[in-house]
Chain A
Amino acid sequence: EVQLVESGGGLVQPGGSLRLSCAASGFTFSSYWMNWVRQAPGKGLEWVASIKQDASDKYYVDSVKGRFTISRDNAKNSLYLQMNSLRAEDTAVYYCARDPLSGGRRNYFDFWGQGTLVTVSS
């Protein structure tokens, strides 16, 4: 059974940093593109970042470029999101989500974690 479990969310002041983690199990983690998608309270979904199987390619939505860094550790079956210079508008539930294609890339999301809440406030 595919499982994605996020952790690391919490309350942080504007300008602060936070590192999110996603622990994957039930599939060959190293064979899949992985993603972060966020949802502001009461709002819709926003794709944030994607990382290739071997971490050689990474993509970001414009609003987080230069502030967020996606990474992965295939030996630990883990995905990460380092978030720096946080702003109030980054407040959201952050979901880890898997691309459906083993060895390739489709850019939609077939399995999602339960999410972790990040609140940016003074």
Chain B
Amino acid sequence: EIVLTQSPATLSLSPGERATLSCGASQSVSSSYLAWYQQKPGLAPRLLIYDASNRATGIPDRFSGSGSGTDFTLTISRLEPEDFAVYYCQQYGNSPWTFGQGTKVEIK
């Protein structure tokens, strides 16, 4: 099973700042099959990024993903008030599909 470790656990930033979230895999994620989700309290997760760098339908271009192998990054170029949430990475290159433990982006 591939274990995903997200860092930091919490990111305290102000609106307008840049957010950089990391997701490290215990072994290489085949074909960069990595997704990112956003979850707000009491709501279901929302798909942001798939295949490491492709934005899902309707996702603003301030969200971008990069990386390959064992190291992946989600970047939010300029934080909007609605971006404060928890973010999860998920690998789907090897079964079982696994998620990271999440990074909370909070208002500083």
The 8 closest A-B pairs by CB, nearest first: A107-B92, A112-B44, A108-B35, A45-B99, A47-B97, A44-B101, A108-B92, A61-B96
23 contacts between A and B (CB under 8 A): A44-B88, A44-B100, A44-B101, A44-B102, A45-B90, A47-B90, A47-B96, A47-B97, A47-B99, A61-B96, A95-B45, A100-B47, A106-B50, A107-B97, A108-B33, A108-B92, A108-B97, A109-B35, A109-B37, A109-B45, A109-B90, A112-B44, A114-B43
Q: Please tell me if A1 contacts chain B, counting CB pairs below 8 Å.
A: no
Please state if A107 and B45 are interface contacts (CB–CB under 8 Å). Answer: no
| Cα distance, A115 to B41, chains bound together (Å) | 13
Q: Please tell me if A59 contacts chain B, counting CB pairs below 8 Å.
A: yes
Majority secondary structure of chain B interface residues (helix, strand, loop or mixed): loop
Task: Please list the residues of chain A having a beta carbon within 8 angstroms of any beta carbon in chain B.
Answer: 44-47, 59, 61-62, 95, 100, 106-115
CB B57 to nearest CB in A, in angstroms, measures 8
User: Quick one: which of A45, A110, A113 contacts B56, CB cutoff 8 A?
Assistant: A110
| Cα distance, A109 to B54, chains bound together (Å) | 14
Contacts of A110 in B (CB 8 A): 47, 56
